[in-house]
Amino acid sequence: MTRLERILTPERVEGYSWIIVFTILFLSIGQITDWGSRRNWPIPSSQAGPTAFAAPKLETAFIPPAPDTMLETSLRPLFVVTRRPAPTPPPPAPPAPPKPTMKKGQFLLTGVTIVANQKFAHILDRASNKSVVVSEGKDIGGITIKQISETQVILTQYDDTEVLVLRSPVKLPASK
């Protein structure tokens, strides 16, 4: 170990550093205080008598508004950030109207006439007991005659169908 290494051990270097820091601090404080010559600072004297107390200006007394004027505000929810009531859900959609259906059994097939290319059905309305002669494609009280054959008639209304069958078919001999 060299002589310089023995003199500059870590403990000695730290000690010298603290001595330098404290010396700089001491010199700074001494310079700021003019080395003690400003020890006796002048104390201000209060020669003036007590000042008169000025009464504070009071505002007019607060009168709260009538409770009815703030009713809407007081009814708002307290623990909701916007202070607005929760939105009400929309009313449920009304149920779909029932699908209309055909009233069956109101007509009775009494006869069928086929002449050349035309077909006619003789239909009896049971409610009024009136007989009606119709051809294909015509309507009876909103019910359409879809097809006429020798022994039956097909009626349609909406998506529903009814087949009227001729109860006692009478076949005539074919003409010569």
Two structure tokens written together for 163: 């087949």
Looking at the DSSP assignment, which residues form a beta bridge with residue 158? none
C-alpha to C-alpha distance for 136 and 139, rounded to whole angstroms: 9
Task: Please compute the mean of the pLDDT values over residues 136-153 and round it to a whole number.
Answer: 91
Domain spans of the chain, in order of start: 3-32, 107-165
Whether the predicted pLDDT of 40 surpasses 70: no
Largest CA distance in the chain: 159
Q: Confirm whether pTM is higher than 0.75.
A: no
The mean pLDDT value of the chain amounts to 85
- CATH number of this structure's domain 107-165: 2.30.30
**Which positions ≥6 away from 153 have C-beta within 8 Å?**
109, 112, 121, 123, 145, 147, 163, 164
